Amino acid sequence: MYTGLQHLHSYLAYLVLIGLLISWLMAVAGLMGNKTYTAQNRKMSLLGLIPTHLQWVIGLVLYLVSPLGISNFSGAGMKDSTARLYFLEHPLMMILAVVFITIGYAKAKRQIGTTQGFKSIVIFYGLGLVLILSRLPWSAWLD
Cα 65 from Cα 74, distance rounded (Å)? 16
CB-CB contact of 90 with 9 (8 Å): no
Measured from the CB atom, the residue of 28 and 136 that comes closer to ligand HEM is 136
9 binding ligand HEM? (CB under 6 A): yes
**Does residue 136 belong to the site contacting ligand HEM (CB under 6 A)?**
yes
Q: How far is the CB of 70 from ligand HEM (least distance, A)?
A: 8
Most distant pair of Cα atoms in the chain: their distance: 53
Query: How many chain residues interact with ligand HEM (CB under 6 A)?
Result: 36
Those residues with Cβ within 8 angstroms of residue 87's Cβ, 6 or more apart along the chain or in another chain: 68, 69, 70, 72, 73, 77
Binding of ligand HEM at residue 117 (CB under 6 A)? no
Q: Is 52 in the site for ligand HEM (CB under 6 A)?
A: yes
Helix axes 39-65, 90-110, angle to 10 degrees: 160
Rule CB under 6 A: say whether 124 interacts with ligand HEM: no
- Is 48 one of the binding residues for ligand HEM (CB under 6 A)? no
Measure the N-to-C terminal CA separation of the chain; round to a whole number of Å: 22
User: Which residues sit at the interface with ligand HEM, rule CB under 6 A?
Assistant: 6, 9-10, 13, 16, 46, 49-50, 52-57, 59-60, 62-63, 66, 68-69, 86, 90-91, 94-95, 98, 102, 105-106, 109, 132, 136-137, 140-141
